[in-house]
Amino acid sequence: MRLGARVGRWGAAVSVLAVAAALLVAVGPAGAGPVRTASGHRWITDDQGRALVLTGLNTASSAKSRPDGLPWIKEGDVQREADALGSNFVRFLIQWRSVEPEPGAYDDGYLDRVAERVRWYGARGIHVMLDLHQDVYGPAVKGNGAPAWATEADGLPVAERGQWELKYIEPGTVRAFDHFWGTRPGGRDLRAHYAAAWAHVAARFADDPAVLGYNLMNEPFGGSVQGPAFEAGPLAALYRQTIDAVRAVDRDSWIFVEPEAVSANWGLPSALPYLPDPRGDGEDARIAYAPHLYPLPMDLGGGYTGDTATWVDRTLASWREQTEKTARRLGAPVLIGEYGLDATLPGAPAYVARVRAMADELGAGTAYWSNDPGSWAPWDQNLRPTALLPVLDRPQPRAVAGDPVAYAWDAESRTLTLSWRPKPGVRGDTEVYLPARSFPHGGLVTGSGVAGAWDSKSRTLHITSGADGAGGTSVRIRPAP
C-alpha cells in the first residue's frame, strides 16, 4: 500500500531524480497544446450507447494483505461512498493467489465473495472494474498478488525494505518476474497460467451487468527486461494471450491494459503497441488504456506548493501528452486507474482538483487511490471526512447521450459546462451528478432545446435534448436557487 512515509525515503534516489528530470526534458513539455478528446481517443459506453465518465475509488489496498484477498468494506461502506461522493465506478482489487491457490485449481468460493461485493456496487449504479493486482510480484517475495506456487526466485534473497518500492529491485523479486515472463533460459513462463486464470474469472462475470471490465495486471514490472523491450515484448505478448483467453468466454466486457508503471506513472513514454481485440477493431474494439499518475516530485516527498508544484505541473503536462499518444496508438479510451496522495501534504486538495480538471480535459475516467481509511483517503480511521472528501465530491457528468465534446467544472462560479454531439443509436438521458455541497437545491440547466429533471435521491440531473440537436448540444448547469 502507499504508506505514509514517503518523505525522505529515497535516500539514494537523488540520482533517480536527476535521471527522471533529464528524461522529462528529453520528452519535452506539451507545447503543441492538448489534443481534443473528441478527435482523439474513444469513449467507454454503457448498454444504451452513452459515453461514461467513470469516477470513483480504488477499493482497496487492504485486499493485498488480508488472507481472504478481499477489501475491508461492508455493504454500508458502499452506501456511504455513494452518498458522500456520488461514485459511478470502482477499481476493485482481486488477487491471483486467491483466484488460483493451486495450479489449475480455482477457488470459486472466493469469486462468489467477490460477486457478492460486486452486487453491493451494482445495486447503487456503480460500475465495477476487476483489477488483478500485484505489487512486488507476490507474498513469497514479500509482495502481493501471485500465488507461492507461481513464484520462482531460485533461492535469491529479498531483503525487507523500509521503502516498499525498493523490493522491486531485490534479486529474488527480479528473478520471480523473469520466470513469470519466460525471459530467462530454462524459465517456466507462467503467462499461460495467468491468462487461463483470467479466462476463469471472466467466465464467472461475463453476464454480470455490474462488471464493466477487467484490468489485466496492476503496475506491470519487467524484471531484468525493462522499457520498450518489455512493453513491446513480454508484456504485449501476455496481453494478447490474455485478451484472446478472455474473449473466448466474454465477448463484450471492457479489457483495461496498463503500461510499465515505473516510467508511465511519472509521465514518461510508453511503448505499449496496438493490441487487437478479437471482437473487432475500430468502434467495435473494447480495449481501454488505464495508466497511473504519480508525479515523481511528489513521490520524493513533496506536496503541491512552491517549486514542487511547478515540477508537478510539468510532469502533468508530459503525462498527459504521453497518455494521449499511447491511447491514440491503442485506439483506446483512457481511465486514470490510480492517482492519489497523502491529504496531510500541503496543497493536497489543490492537486486533486488539478488532476480532476485535467481528466475532464482528457475525457478520462478517474479512480482515486484509495478507499482505505487514513490520510490517503476521503475518510480517516474513524470514517470521518479528510480534506480530500470535499474536493473528490465534485459535480461530474456520469453518462453523456452522445459524443462528448467538452465538459468542465468551474468551482468559483459554480458552473458546469457540457457539450456533446449527437450519435446515432444512443438512448437515454445525459446524467450529471451534483453534490449537495455546491448544489444544495439541485441544478438548473440552460441550453437551446434542453430540459432537466432533478432526482434529489441520487443527486442526478437528467438532461434531455430537443429533436433537432443536429449541430450538437451545449449546456450550462448552475445551482438552483
Least distance CB 370 / ligand MNI (angstroms): 8
Q: Which three cell numbers stand for residue 405?
A: 465534446
CB 181 within 8 A of CB 97: no
User: CA 297, CA 167: separation in Å to the nearest integer?
Assistant: 20
Q: Which three cell numbers stand for residue 208?
A: 454480470
State how beta strands 450-455 and 460-465 pair: antiparallel
Q: 13 vs 51, which CB is nearer to ligand MNI?
A: 13
Least distance CB 435 / ligand MNI (angstroms): 27
Q: 93 vs 426, which CB is nearer to ligand MNI?
A: 93
Q: What is the DSSP letter of 105?
A: B
Least distance CB 7 / ligand MNI (angstroms): 14
State the Cα torsion 274-277-283-288 to the nearest 10°. Answer: -60
Locate cell 522499457: which residue?
227
User: CA 167, CA 12: separation in Å to the nearest integer?
Assistant: 14
Least distance CB 222 / ligand MNI (angstroms): 9
Q: 165 vs 360, which CB is nearer to ligand MNI?
A: 165
Residues engaged in binding ligand MNI (CB under 6 A): 1-2, 135, 165, 168, 218-219, 221, 261-262, 265, 294, 299, 338
Q: 81 vs 338, which CB is nearer to ligand MNI?
A: 338
Q: 322 vs 430, which CB is nearer to ligand MNI?
A: 322
Q: Which three cell numbers stand for residue 242?
A: 490474455
Spatial CA neighbour of 242 closest among 181, 192, 207, 177:
192
Q: 375 vs 474, which CB is nearer to ligand MNI?
A: 375
3-state secondary structure 47-114: CCCCEECCEEEEECCHHHHCCCCCCCCCHHHHHHHHHHHCCCEEEEEEEHHHHCCECCECCHHHHHHH
Least distance CB 141 / ligand MNI (angstroms): 13
Q: Which three cell numbers stand for residue 138?
A: 507476490
Least distance CB 297 / ligand MNI (angstroms): 13
